[in-house]
Homo-oligomer: A and B are copies of this chain.
Amino acid sequence: MNTLDRQQVLKDPLYGYIHIDDVIIKKLIDTSLFQRLRRIRQLSGVQMVFHGAEHSRFTHSLGVYELAFRFLSVKELNETLDERSQLLFKTSALLHDIGHGAYSHAFEDVFKVDHEQIGARMITNRFEIRDILATVDKDFAKDVASIILKEGRFPIIEHLISSQIDIDRLDYLERDAYYTGTAYGHIDLDRLMRVMHIKDGKIIFSVSGIHAIENYLISRYHMYWQVYYHPVARAYEVILEKIYLRVKNLYLKDFEFKADIEPLKRLIENPNDLDSFIQIDDFFINGLISSFTKSKDDILKTLADDFLNRHIWKYIDDNKANQELINHIKATYDQQELEYFTAHKTVSNRAYQNDKADIGDQIDILLKDQSVSTLEEQSDIMNGLMLSGVKEDKKFFYRPL
């Protein structure tokens, strides 16, 4: 397309270098919308437990882009995707998280926004990005948005960006392991790329790569249970969710905030207000929480104080044996307090299996005789994990110290 005169590189601790050889990619990285991702940390609650993990969605997004760049060196993929599709793949990889806001999970729950919807609109509606993409062709922005929304129009690219084995997860599992310092789970990326094939318009892995796939899935399992579902990390997210909830409810009751919550107000009124959404980065939210420690509302003040000063909420298993204790604890709160100071949280025991499996929820395996099987058929470990998944979900009850 618009090849750069000279390939540019950015130093990356995981991949050595991020390689940029297209003007489009370079320009997208320089937009304020993409630079904004520097101000949104990749792991919200988790960084409170794993202090090394202070990296942002900016860093992760560059990583996913680089994986797209590298996957395109796989001969079969390179030959299957024409030049436009290759750029589409790289662009979608770079922008796949563009719609993320601060502390997304809790935020999306309370304020009813969806980062993929928002990302798609940023790509098609904001001049800054739209005008760059329009230099490719008039449908390019629309097509990138379509991939973000997983509409199924570009199945191979969507599969590569979002499936059981995709470049999004491949980057974040390795990157989060690198920054947290959890040794588990080095993924053999070279091997996965070598065993990847395209058959009947679908991604498939040859049986000789089954150990690399197993290893990837086990890494994922461990990262989920040891890092992403760490109970203390989740305690932070519980408090944050309560803060968001209190702000929303106070606003709806016409509470007069001293802090400037303007963007939040507008977003409650109109969840489609992109301008407001864009302002809500980690800096904004943290500044807000900081100012809430002086709020006249005692609930908000307490929650903000718990969040900032590491009063980590305690949790116990939410099982039969603890019901009496839980009821006892709950009885110490009045009705309003109950809403803000207690929480029941469920971690699906299958979550690591299919948390993102909208497309391609099955991993296809190409046998030596060219017939197609599934990973579950071929892998003893995967089978074991599947069987184990039948067990019950894990439930926790959280409350302040």
In the complex the two chains form, is A54's CB within 8 Å of B51's CB?
no
Question: With an 8 A cutoff between CB atoms, is A370 at the interface?
Answer: no
Question: With an 8 A cutoff between CB atoms, is A16 at the interface?
Answer: yes
> Which of A11, A38, A286, A391 neighbours the largest number of chain B CB atoms within 10 Å of its CB?
A11
- Indicate whether A309 sits within 8 Å of B32 (C-beta atoms), given known contacts A51-B12, A186-B184: yes
- Indicate whether A13 sits within 8 Å of B56 (C-beta atoms), given known contacts A211-B226, A215-B222, A222-B211: no
Question: With an 8 A cutoff between CB atoms, is A255 at the interface?
Answer: no
Binary contact readout A148-183 vs B (1 if CB under 8 angstroms, 0 otherwise): 000000000000000000000000000000111111
In the complex the two chains form, is A381's CB within 8 Å of B54's CB?
no
In the complex the two chains form, is A13's CB within 8 Å of B211's CB?
no
Identify which of A237-245, A324-332, A382-390 touches chain B: A382-390
Question: With an 8 A cutoff between CB atoms, is A253 at the interface?
Answer: no
In the complex the two chains form, is B391's CB within 8 Å of A385's CB?
no
In the complex the two chains form, is B194's CB within 8 Å of A9's CB?
yes
Given A54-B55, A283-B287, 18 more A-B residue pairs with CB atoms under 8 Å apart are: A9-B194, A11-B50, A14-B181, A51-B58, A51-B62, A52-B55, A54-B54, A54-B59, A184-B188, A184-B211, A215-B218, A218-B218, A283-B283, A283-B286, A380-B384, A380-B388, A381-B385, A383-B384
Cα A253 to Cα B70 with chains together (Å):
55
Query: Which A residues contact B (CB, under 8 angstroms)?
Result: 9-14, 16-17, 30, 32, 35, 38-39, 50-52, 54-56, 58-59, 62, 178-184, 186-188, 190, 194, 211, 214-215, 218, 221-222, 225-226, 279, 282-284, 286-287, 290, 308-310, 349, 380-381, 383-389, 391
> How many copies make up the complex?
4
Cα A186 to Cα B219 with chains together (Å):
11
Q: With a CB–CB cut-off of 8 A, which chain B residues contact A211?
A: 184, 222, 225-226
Nearest first, the 7 A-B pairs at minimum CB distance are: A384-B384, A380-B388, A13-B181, A13-B52, A183-B186, A283-B286, A283-B283
Among residues of B, the one whose C-beta sits closest to the C-beta of A128 is: B309
Q: With a CB–CB cut-off of 8 A, which chain B residues contact A182?
A: 11
Cα A17 to Cα B54 with chains together (Å):
17
- Indicate whether A54 sits within 8 Å of B56 (C-beta atoms), given known contacts A35-B310, A385-B381, A387-B383: yes
Cα A211 to Cα B50 with chains together (Å):
16
Cα A188 to Cα B12 with chains together (Å):
13
- Indicate whether A11 sits within 8 Å of B221 (C-beta atoms), given known contacts A30-B310, A211-B226: no
In the complex the two chains form, is B381's CB within 8 Å of A221's CB?
yes
What is the CB-to-nearest-CB distance from A178 to chain B, in angstroms, rounded to a whole number? 7
Cα A59 to Cα B53 with chains together (Å):
9
In the complex the two chains form, is B39's CB within 8 Å of A286's CB?
yes
What is the CB-to-nearest-CB distance from A197 to chain B, in angstroms, rounded to a whole number? 12
- Indicate whether A387 sits within 8 Å of B385 (C-beta atoms), given known contacts A58-B51, A183-B188, A287-B284: no
In the complex the two chains form, is B384's CB within 8 Å of A35's CB?
no
In the complex the two chains form, is A16's CB within 8 Å of B181's CB?
yes
Among residues of B, the one whose C-beta sits closest to the C-beta of A215 is: B184
What is the CB-to-nearest-CB distance from A241 to chain B, in angstroms, rounded to a whole number? 20
> Which of A10, A51, A279 neighbours the largest number of chain B CB atoms within 10 Å of its CB?
A51
